[in-house]
Amino acid sequence: MTPFLSGLKAGTSWEKSGEDAVLVSGPGRRVVLPSWLAHPLRFQRGPVPWPAVLRGALSAGPVMAIGVAQGWIEFAVLAGFGTLFAGFNDLPGTRRTGAVYIGLPVLVGALGLLIGAATADAVPSGWWVLPLLFAVGLASGAVSTVGPVCSRTGMQTLCLMVIGTGVPLPGTPWLKALFFLVGAVWLLLLRLVLRTPRPVGGGLAGEQAALAGVFDALVGALEAVGGPGAEAARRRLTAAMDRGDEALRLRRLFRRLAHRSTRPGELLLAERFAAATALCEASTALLWEAHPLPPNVAEGPRRLAAALRAGEPPGPLPAPGGDTPARAAFDHALQYAAAVFARTVPGVTSAEEVAPLPAPGTVPTMRRRVLGPAGREYGLRVAVCVTASAAVALAMRADHWYWLPLTAVFLVKPDIGPLFSRVVNRFVGTAVGVVVFGGLAAIWGGGGVWWTVVCAAVAGALLPVSFRHFGLQTSVVTLMVLPFVWVGGDTQAAGDRLLDTATACAIVLVVGHLPGFTDPTARVAHLMAEALRRTREYLAHVLTTPAGGRPGDRMVLRRAAYSSLAEARSAAETVAAELPWGRGPHTDWFRVVAASERIVDAVTACAVRVEQGAERPSREEGAGVVQALDALADSLDGRTPATVRPELRQTPSCASLADVVAELRHIQVFTGALTAGSRTARTT
């Protein structure tokens, strides 16, 4: 048994992800729910984001109050919508991360609102809106598969197109878009101004916190080496690295946009991130070796994290004690980190030497996602669901038809969970929100509209907390939207909205499971193919680049492979929890993802061993493995039949490359079973 596999024999958590969940267990009793039924009950835990709560309380309420006090009803409604859509994107991160996550979706969304309002003014309301929604839904759905920011941008653009065409408010189209932007920019300004005071770090406090999170995750990974939680710890480390890398890249981008020279503090922080990257690479090799480590090994990264938060030197770090190539590489990286942290000025003169690099192949990757099977499938599903919901709404009530397609847009969003879970939580959450709002209206509805301002302010404060559960989020959003509708003059909307939501849920649930129309595995298969191609690029670089070459290129390729696999794992979890209507054995996707992650681990170990003086695998051995990865990626993408596979004739002499071959053979078996299951499901 190879080193990494022997370290995992005590645990097989990767095989259980997405399986049935135990609801109640105890002596003599055990109630097990299938994953598709247990998913709606899952609730995320975590600390309360108090700064975001404060921003939410100061966003919609004050904006509505200004509009109501001045009699600007259209301003109160549209600026309120602006704070709501900006609040969806008010996620943890640095100020620059917030500017991108909030700014880009609302800018494009305002354009959608402008186009929708202008079209509604030019053409009388009616069935003409259906082809427009179909075209915009097709485009926004395909773009949503690119990534989280594009997903939010596509969803909000389509939503605001519906609002622009369907919400009857006075004013010119450009004024409506301006009012929306005022509300969104107000929340963005609160994000930039209202921050938790930090005594150290100055303008780099957010980036330093992200880098400290990398060292925290590194401590967890080192403590898990050789145990059953090693894979999960490595995934957490990858996620922390991605967050740190994103924070530094965005700072670099904003610096270039401002035409500002690099400051010494930025260079020093970039050097520290490079040191963290080298430590993470060595720790991945330690995870592959799977030998439990002495407790003092994790003490070095722990002190580095504390030094970042305190703004002080880390003090003496543990002495070297390497007896394996991975341990020797880790000790060398720790010595380099100690030297970097001891500096008060940067040791380089150019930011380009240490600046984080973007993952390669960004434009081709985006093109493949948008135009590939995943983009086409999701775009078509969004277009059909939104258009069908709008058609039913126009037939039911032509004056207030916007709620059905708005509900459909949120339900078919690809990265917020399985479809059945979203439908259940959407309906229950809307029902709770309608009941609460109806009770408030019965008590205070006859005394003016100021109570709606208070309701919107409270809902805005609860919005950041509600992200932990889709049903709770739906309830809070309902309590935030209904005040806008009430102020706009539709005081009987609550009951109608519940009926509209139920109708949209039924439409999306049926369309989303039509046999032969949608394939829930298309997205995960495409993401797995992309991840395997990134893995192939990483392996080819390790096998062909001489020792001592540019380590930054290797680390960028490694992060790109891990990031792609993390996205594929998330998609596999969603597919595994889908309602099992005519689908194949999708839970095996977890085995494919886990085997691919172990391939990247083994390739990293190979790179570390070569850097430490081990013999490089032969070109013939490496070429066959690279071809096999390419063939697997093409078969998952549908470019070649799944039966076309190059033969892996022998096990390489290199231990890490032998692990790669072993996991490739496992993936070939798993993908063969998936293909057979998919064919059986389609035939049935």
What's the number of domains the chain is made of? 3
Does 32 score more than 60 pLDDT?
Answer: yes
Q: Is residue 565 a contact partner of residue 597, using CB atoms and an 8 Å limit? A: yes
> What per-residue confidence (pLDDT) applies to 139?
92
Which band of pLDDT confidence, cut at 50, 70 and 90, is reported for residue 158? very high
The CATH number for 672's domain is 1.20.58
Residues 208 and 188 in one domain: no
- Choose the weakest-confidence range: 82-91, 183-192, 264-273: 264-273
Q: Which domain holds residue 209?
A: 202-353
Does 523 score more than 90 pLDDT?
Answer: no
Cα separation, 139 vs 628, in Å, equals: 34
Residues 229 and 337 in one domain: yes
> What per-residue confidence (pLDDT) applies to 612?
83
**Of 511, 539, 568, which residue constitutes the final position of a domain?**
511
Does 679 score more than 50 pLDDT?
Answer: no
- Of residues 527 and 471, the one with the higher pLDDT is 471
Which band of pLDDT confidence, cut at 50, 70 and 90, is reported for residue 476? very high
Q: Is 22 helix (H, G, I), strand (E, B) or coil?
A: strand
Residues 231 and 344 in one domain: yes
Residues 407 and 258 in one domain: no
Structure tokens at 324: 């394996």
Give the residue from 651, 656, 671 showing the smallest Cα distance to 598: 656
Residue 480 lies in a domain: yes
State the maximum Cα–Cα separation within the chain, in Å, rounded to a whole number.
Answer: 82
Does 415 score more than 80 pLDDT?
Answer: no
Q: Is residue 418 a contact partner of residue 574, using CB atoms and an 8 Å limit? A: yes
Residue 6 lies in a domain: no
Does 111 score more than 90 pLDDT?
Answer: yes
Residues 432 and 560 in one domain: no
Does 133 score more than 60 pLDDT?
Answer: yes
Q: How far is CA 584 from the centre of its chain?
A: 25
Q: Is residue 135 a contact partner of residue 165, using CB atoms and an 8 Å limit? A: no
Does 584 score more than 70 pLDDT?
Answer: no
Does 82 score more than 50 pLDDT?
Answer: yes
Give the residue from 502, 488, 498 showing the smallest Cα distance to 399: 488
pLDDT tens-digit readout, 45-81: 878 889 899 999 999 999 999 999 999 999 999 999 9
Which band of pLDDT confidence, cut at 50, 70 and 90, is reported for residue 513? confident
Does 19 score more than 60 pLDDT?
Answer: no
> What per-residue confidence (pLDDT) applies to 647?
63
Q: How far is CA 387 from the centre of its chain?
A: 27
Cα separation, 615 vs 321, in Å, equals: 23
Residue 313 lies in a domain: yes
Residues 179 and 237 in one domain: no
> What per-residue confidence (pLDDT) applies to 522?
72
Structure tokens at 256: 């270039």
Does 1 score more than 50 pLDDT?
Answer: no
**Per-residue exposure over 172-211, b if at least 16 CB sit within 10 Å of its own CB, e if not:** ebebbbbbbbbbbbbbbebbeeeeeeeeebeebbbbbbbb
Cα separation, 492 vs 151, in Å, equals: 33
pTM score, two decimals?
Answer: 0.84
Residue 222 lies in a domain: yes
Residue 552 CB-density burial (10 A; 0-12 exposed, 13-18 middle, 19+ buried): middle
> What per-residue confidence (pLDDT) applies to 12?
31
- Beta-carbon neighbour count of residue 319 at 10 Å? 10
Highest mean pLDDT among 204-213, 472-481, 490-499: 472-481
Report, as an integer, the average pLDDT of 216-242.
93
> What per-residue confidence (pLDDT) applies to 11?
31
Residues 536 and 675 in one domain: yes
Task: Give percent helix, percent strand, percent coil of the chain, each to the nearest 5.
Answer: 75, 0, 25
Q: Is residue 382 a contact partner of residue 296, using CB atoms and an 8 Å limit? A: no
> What per-residue confidence (pLDDT) applies to 478?
93
> What per-residue confidence (pLDDT) applies to 373?
72
Does 678 score more than 70 pLDDT?
Answer: no
Residues 483 and 555 in one domain: no
Residue 191 lies in a domain: yes
Which band of pLDDT confidence, cut at 50, 70 and 90, is reported for residue 24? very low
> What per-residue confidence (pLDDT) applies to 547?
63
> What per-residue confidence (pLDDT) applies to 337?
93
Residue 45 lies in a domain: no
- Of residues 128 and 369, the one with the higher pLDDT is 128
Residues 379 and 476 in one domain: yes
**What sign does the dihedral 624-630-635-639 (CA atoms) show?**
negative
Residues 191 and 209 in one domain: no
> What per-residue confidence (pLDDT) applies to 25?
47
pLDDT tens-digit readout, 348-382: 756 555 655 555 456 777 777 788 777 888 888 89
Give the residue from 577, 582, 533, 578 showing the smallest Cα distance to 369: 533
> What per-residue confidence (pLDDT) applies to 30?
58
- Beta-carbon neighbour count of residue 263 at 10 Å? 15
Residues 448 and 587 in one domain: no
Residues of the chain with pLDDT > 70, as a percent, come to: 84
Residues of the chain with pLDDT > 90, as a percent, come to: 38
Residue 500 lies in a domain: yes
pLDDT tens-digit readout, 601-628: 999 998 898 888 878 887 777 888 888 8
Report, as an integer, the average pLDDT of 258-287.
89
Report, as an integer, the average pLDDT of 477-485.
92
Residue 22 lies in a domain: no
**Of 321, 353, 385, which residue constitutes the final position of a domain?**
353
Does 2 score more than 70 pLDDT?
Answer: no
Type of residue numbered 328: A
Cα separation, 79 vs 183, in Å, equals: 4
Which band of pLDDT confidence, cut at 50, 70 and 90, is reported for residue 261? confident
Give the residue from 306, 95, 93, 309 showing the smallest Cα distance to 199: 309
**What sign does the dihedral 412-416-419-424 (CA atoms) show?**
negative
Task: State the DSSP string of 146-199.
Answer: S-HHHHHHHHHHHHHHHHHHHS---S-HHHHHHHHHHHHHHHHHHHHH-----S
Element (H, E) at 26: strand 21-26
**Of 451, 480, 511, which residue constitutes the final position of a domain?**
511
Q: How far is CA 565 from the centre of its chain?
A: 12
Does 248 score more than 60 pLDDT?
Answer: yes
Highest mean pLDDT among 287-291, 342-346, 354-358: 287-291
Residues 341 and 424 in one domain: no
Does 29 score more than 90 pLDDT?
Answer: no
Q: What is the residue-averaged pLDDT of the chain?
A: 82
Type of residue numbered 156: Q
Cα separation, 462 vs 454, in Å, equals: 12
